[in-house]
Structure formats: structure tokens, C-alpha cells
Structure 1
Amino acid sequence: MTTIYLVRHGQTYFNRYNRMQGWSDSPLTENGVKDAKRVGEVFKNIKFAYAASSDANRARNTAQIILDYNLANPPKLVEIPNFRECFYGYFEGMNSPETWLLTAHQAGYRTFNDLVTNFDLDYAKDLMHQADPFHEAETADQYWQRLDKAFEFLAKQVSFTSSDPVLLVTHGTTIRSIVGRYSSEKQFDLTDPPRNGSITTIEMNQNRQIKVKDYNKLKI
């Protein structure tokens, strides 16, 4: 099993303003840069076998700051586009609570956490697709086809005989979705979003079987 550290990117302006940010991409705030530097301090003596991020600037820039702090001959950063955030279609850039009120209302609820508590993250994705007047927000099936390709690509790059871990900087809903899919029921509270600059630890073998070891931590 290879250890993969999933890091959520640093705070962005859309995070600060509580707006939907999937494929849209706002810059890191000053606090977002501090988030990345804090993670860099945590990982500065870790020898990474591989380092990757999504192709979003917020993830790429966070990852590069982390690697700039690393003292253990860090690898060159590789972008894996399929690890980008869920696409929110028509709702990109919109106010998050208002978006989830409109989405959850279809099922008789009001918030994102209502959907996660009573259903799951995949149901929330499909409900948003229905609420999108253009029906371009990603469905759960579309999302997982993309994420499965991302993990397939990553598995081909990693030497599973090495004990050195992998750094992967990605996104909040993506991290929550991975944890929701590969952890046991109620193992982690997915109504608690991964903090900017938080670390989630998973393990993956050569058959792409995944186990979640820890979620939403600031240290390892």
C-alpha cells in the first residue's frame, strides 16, 4: 500500500466569499498562501515519491509552495486534470447557501448538510444536475468516471514497492467524495468540510483499492 496525502488547497477568494467554486478558479488569498506554507512546514522533511495536483491554479500554487518548503529533494510537480473539483455548471460562482437551498429544495430539504446527512454526496451531485437549468453540473456517474481515470493514471506513476508517500493537492468536495466512497459508514463526519490546507490520509494498492486512514487534519 502506498500512502497518499490529500491536501485541500489554500483559501481562495471564492472560499472567503462562500461562493461555489468547482471548475471556476479564484486566486489564493493571503490566508490561503499561509495555509500552503503551514502544510509545507508539516511536510518539509518528508521524502515524496511523487507530487501531483489538479490543473486548477489554486491547487497548483498550493502544491508548489509546499514543495518549495521541502528539504528532501522534492519531485517535480505533475498536474492531473481529472483530479479537479466537481463541476457545478450553471451554479459556478454563485452564493453557496443560496445554491444549496435551491438544490436541496427539490428533495424537501434546505442545505447541503441536509443532503449529506439524509442521503450522500453522490445524491447531492445528481440533485444539482437536475436543478441546473442547463443540466451541465456533473452527475455522480460523470464525476466518478473522471476520478477513476485520475486514480488509474496515478497508479501507473507510483512505485508500490517504495515506502515514500505521494502528495496530492486537490479540492474540498473531491476529498469529501473520496472519503465518502472509500471509508466505512459513519467513520468520518462528512458534514464537516475539509479545511483549507487540511490533510486527509489514504492508502492505495496496485489494484487501486483505497483505504481512508484519516480525515481533515492539520498535522500527520
Structure 2
Amino acid sequence: MKLTKVVSLLAVTAGALALVAVPSNAQAKTKKKAAVKPVTIYLTRHGETTGNVMGRVQGWSDFPLTSNGIAVANNLGRGLKGKTFKVAYAGNLTRQQVTAKQALKYSGNKKVKVNVSKYLREGGYGSFEGDSIAADNALIAGVYGFKSGDEMMAKQGKDYWNLLQDAYYKLDQKNSQKTNLVASDRAESSKQVQKRMAKELLTIAKATQKRGGGNALVVSSGMSINEYLSTMAGSKYTGAPLKNAAVTKLVYKHGKLAVSGPIGSMTYVDKGAKLAK
């Protein structure tokens, strides 16, 4: 009888310990889950380039930053001081990579590596790259029945950048410029730009979340960012041009990215400019 009682007592004790262990594991999982920070992407346009100053169509062509463009990238960094970036990404163009590196350096994040992705580069304009923007805008406005590029921009609003991209695509498919470019080097359509941007930004958000969440600096280009933002449901996107080094914050929740705050904010650049004085 005594042996039976001892065995029963041990069984009860083991069961009690097992019950205690369950909430302990659950608490550990809860703490681990709580430790994951939200993911915020600072989607940024590059600094001023020689192509911007000369009014040239840039696209995949590698125009460098001007001295002013570097200063603006530095000011962006100064304005971001205090923000810790878990990761950083840039398109495969010099203007995008240098902007990212300068921003990281001046924000106190210079040890963060800049990951390079061709999916974050500017929209491709194929046979039109290097052209005068004013001349091409007038040509494209005519394609849509407008008298000027300014009129087209004013009347098309948030659809303007997509229509502009698609006009380059359609004209280049017809080889209006009489070039010998192969199909893969010709202008992209807005759908192509939107698809690669959306896929890459979502990939970045997921990868950042797996590393515990936090901030990600992503530097791309004006039209690519505009075309991507035009697809964001619920955003206050109007199609307004983005200034050099303008920042739009994206927050990753429930498997999706959403705009948080103003689109194309110059707050960080302006703050950095004041700190530089």
C-alpha cells in the first residue's frame, strides 16, 4: 500500500509540474513575439543628379549626384539622426547607392551595409534615355491629345506618371526612335515597374521582420516610387512630383505595406539643413 501511495504521489507531482511548464513555454513565446518590432520602410528618392540639372531623361542610365545632390543626401542623414536602421537597400544606380551611403553615414548608421537591387532602379525608358525631358514630355502629351506636358500633368493627376511610363513603352515598342535596342533594353511599362517595386519592397519588409523588425532605408527613384505609390489603396497619393531625397514611410502589417504619414516629406532634409548650419 505504501509503495502504491508513493507512486501515486509521484504521478500527481509530475502532472503538476507538467501543468506549470505549459504556461511557462507560452509566456516565453509571447515574450519572443512581443520582442519583434514593427517594420517601417523609409522609401526615399535619390539626391540631385547631373541629369536632373540638365533636364535629361535618366532611367537606367547612370547619372551621378551633383555636389548639391551629395549635400542634400548628407542633410537627409543629419535629419534622420536618432533613427536606427536595421537594413538598407538601394537600386543598382550610382545616384541611389551614394544617396543611401551618405544618409547612413550622417545619421549614425554608417556600419549598415547597403544591399543593391536592380528591382529598385528607376523606370527604364529605353531609346529615350538621355533625351531632353521637355521635348519628350511635349511629344508624349501629343500622344494623349494634350497641348503640353504641363497640361497633361495637371489634368491626369495621380495617373500622370503611369501614363508617361506607358507612352515611353508604347513608342519604344514601335521603335519610333529607330534604334537597334533589343526588347529587354527597351522602355518598361508602368505595370512592369509597379510589379518589381511592389515585390521587392514586400520582400524587404518580410526579411526585416524576420530579423526582429525595425527600420529599413530604401533609396529608389522618382518615377518608380510614384508609379508604386499610385497602386496603394487608401493612401493620399495625388501624383505630385517628389523632390530629391523626399521620404515616404511605409509600415508593414498583416502581410501588407501601407503608407504612414505624408507622401514625399522633406522634413528630414530640412531638419538636416538646419543642423548643418
Asked whether the two chains share a fold, i.e. TM above 0.5, the reply is: yes
1:154 equivalenced with 2:204 (yes/no) = yes
Q: CA deviation at 1:149?
A: 3.0
Q: Secondary structure at the match of 2:169?
A: helix
Q: CA deviation at 1:88?
A: 0.8
Q: CA deviation at 1:49?
A: 1.6
1:7 equivalenced with 2:57 (yes/no) = no
**Structure 1 range deviating more: 113-122 or 28-37:** 113-122
Q: Is the 8 A contact 1:155 1:206 kept in 2?
A: no
Q: How does 1:1-220 map to 2 (within 5 A)?
A: 1-71=38-108, 74-109=111-146, 110-111=148-149, 114-115=152-153, 117-118=155-156, 120=159, 121-132=161-172, 133-134=174-175, 136-159=186-209, 162=212, 164-184=214-234, 187-190=236-239, 192-205=240-253, 207-219=255-267
The one-letter code sitting in structure 2 at the alignment partner of 1:53 is A
Q: 1:113 to 1:205 in 2, by over 3 A?
A: farther
Q: CA deviation at 1:72?
A: 5.1
Please list the CA deviations of residues 131-185 of structure 1 after superposition, one character each: whole Å capped at 9, or x if unmatched: 2243721112222232233124313421168462111111111221222221547
Structure-1 separation of matches of 2:144 and 2:261 = 32
Q: 1:50 to 1:116 in 2, by over 3 A?
A: farther
**Structure 1 range deviating more: 130-139 or 28-37:** 130-139
Q: 1:143 to 1:71 in 2, by over 3 A?
A: closer
Structure-2 separation of matches of 1:184 and 1:117 = 21
TM-score (norm: length of structure 1): 0.88
Number of equivalences: 218
Q: Secondary structure at the match of 1:20?
A: coil
The one-letter code sitting in structure 1 at the alignment partner of 2:243 is R
Root-mean-square deviation (CA, aligned residues, Å) is: 2.3
The one-letter code sitting in structure 2 at the alignment partner of 1:81 is K
Please list the CA deviations of residues 53-74 of structure 1 after superposition, one character each: whole Å capped at 9, or x if unmatched: 1111000011111111132575
Q: Is the 8 A contact 1:104 1:127 kept in 2?
A: no
Q: CA deviation at 1:11?
A: 0.5
Q: CA deviation at 1:97?
A: 1.2
Percent identical among aligned pairs is: 27
Structure-2 separation of matches of 1:125 and 1:116 = 16
**Structure 1 range deviating more: 22-31 or 64-73:** 64-73
* Structure showing the higher helix proportion among its residues: 2
Query: Which structure has the larger Rg over C-alpha atoms?
Result: 2
Q: 1:178 to 1:144 in 2, by over 3 A?
A: closer
Structure-2 separation of matches of 1:202 and 1:116 = 26
